């Protein structure tokens, strides 16, 4: 065998493209109300407050008047895009065409943006009033404290879930018809796996775990998402939001739209994958939202 054979050694390169680990789209969108809009802002709902029956204290007394409180909830759009270029000169040097993978990657990013809008709306300040000029914060009294049920800060516990559901029920959320949702990340989900009341069949008439994942407990559906945000007043505590589905809204002005075109204004006439979207989110009612503070 010739000592010169190493001259013919070859390198083998991949012919497949694999996207790196990421949340593939929106996890939360199926668990909120949604609608389509046009214009610079939109009101998804007008609201009328509860009224109280008035006692009749004498015969033939004059009829008075009861004025129900009214409010209007607003959602404002934000624009997003994601342009990606694929150089025609580069394509000549590739074994693969990454164009479709660029589009898929962009769609995943757009889905995550929807989740960020939803989580920011649940935790932040929303706009109400006749024209959306009033800033409305979440009800601090409906936060579940980070040390609830203990003398030290804790992660997510059964006691905190019970308290969150109790607050929603106290606020008159119809738990028989309105889906209850709690968003957890990997750490909070692991907290739940340490709770005997969740993993033991002694406390449940049917399994809570599906393939090792907590899906539903105490009538609350658990949704996994690693994009939870920290509380503005306690930056060491992550917010695990719990809401009734009718209490959170995603407004879509332009759902994710994609375009693949050739750029005639750039040398080499590269191909551009372009995705754009316009959307906004809001709480529809503060009393349908609870924030569970957890030590991550």
Question: Which of 43, 97, 94 lies closest to 71, judged by CA?
Answer: 43
Q: Count CB atoms within 10 A of the CB of residue 205.
A: 5
Please say whether the beta carbons of 110 and 100 come within 8 A: no
What span, in angstroms and rounded, lies between the C-alpha atoms of 157 and 17?
41
Task: Compute, in degrees rounded to 10, the torsion defined by CA atoms 290, 170, 180, 41.
Answer: -60
* Whether pLDDT at 95 is above 60: no
Spatial separation of the C-alpha atoms in residues 244 and 64, rounded to whole Å: 36
Cα–Cα dist 182/164, whole Å:
9
SS3 call for 49: coil
Average pLDDT rounded to a whole number, residues 81-110: 82
Nearest to 189 by CA among 66, 52, 294, 114: 294
Residue 164: which residues within 8 A CB-CB, separation 6 or more? 144, 182, 220, 242, 290, 292
Over 70: is that where the pLDDT of 175 sits?
A: yes
**Number of other CB atoms surrounding residue 282 within 10 Å:** 30
For the stretch 85-94, pLDDT in tens is 988 776 666 6
241-274 confidence digits (pLDDT tens): 999 999 999 999 999 999 989 999 999 888 899 9
Residues 6+ apart with CB under 8 A from 255: 36, 277, 279
Using CA atoms, how far residue 196 sits from 158, 181, 200, in Å, is: 9, 21, 6
Mean pLDDT confidence for 126-149:
92
Closest CA to 184 of 163, 156, 208: 156
157 in Cβ contact with 165 (< 8 Å): no
pLDDT given at position 96: 63
pTM to 2 decimal places:
0.90
């Amino acid at each position: 065998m010739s000592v010169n054979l190493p001259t013919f050694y070859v390198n083998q390169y991949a012919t497949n493209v694999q996207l790196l680990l990421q949340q593939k789209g929106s996890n939360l969108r199926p668990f909120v109300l949604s609608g389509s809009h046009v214009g610079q802002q939109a009101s998804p709902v007008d609201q009328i407050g509860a009224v109280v029956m008035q006692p009749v204290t004498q015969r033939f007394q004059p009829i008075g008047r009861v004025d129900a409180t009214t409010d209007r909830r607003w959602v404002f759009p934000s624009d997003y895009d994601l342009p990606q270029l694929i150089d025609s000169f580069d394509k000549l040097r590739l074994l693969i065409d990454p164009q479709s993978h660029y589009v898929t990657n962009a769609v995943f990013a757009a889905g995550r943006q929807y989740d960020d809008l939803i989580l920011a709306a649940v935790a932040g300040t929303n706009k109400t009033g006749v024209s959306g000029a009033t800033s409305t914060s979440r009800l601090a009294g409906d936060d579940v404290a980070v040390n609830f049920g203990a003398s030290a800060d804790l992660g997510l516990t059964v006691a905190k879930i019970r308290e969150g559901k109790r607050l929603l029920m106290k606020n008159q959320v119809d738990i028989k018809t309105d889906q209850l949702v709690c968003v957890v990340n990997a750490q909070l989900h692991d907290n739940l796996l340490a709770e005997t009341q969740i993993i033991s069949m002694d406390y449940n008439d049917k399994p809570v775990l599906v393939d090792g994942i907590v899906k539903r407990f105490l009538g609350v559906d658990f949704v996994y998402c690693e994009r939870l945000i920290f509380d503005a007043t306690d930056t060491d505590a992550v917010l695990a939001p719990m809401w009734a589905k009718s209490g959170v809204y995603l407004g879509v002005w332009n759902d994710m739209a994609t375009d693949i075109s050739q750029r005639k204004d750039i040398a080499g006439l590269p191909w551009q994958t372009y995705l754009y979207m316009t959307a906004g989110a809001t709480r529809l009612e503060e009393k349908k939202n609870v924030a569970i503070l957890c030590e991550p």
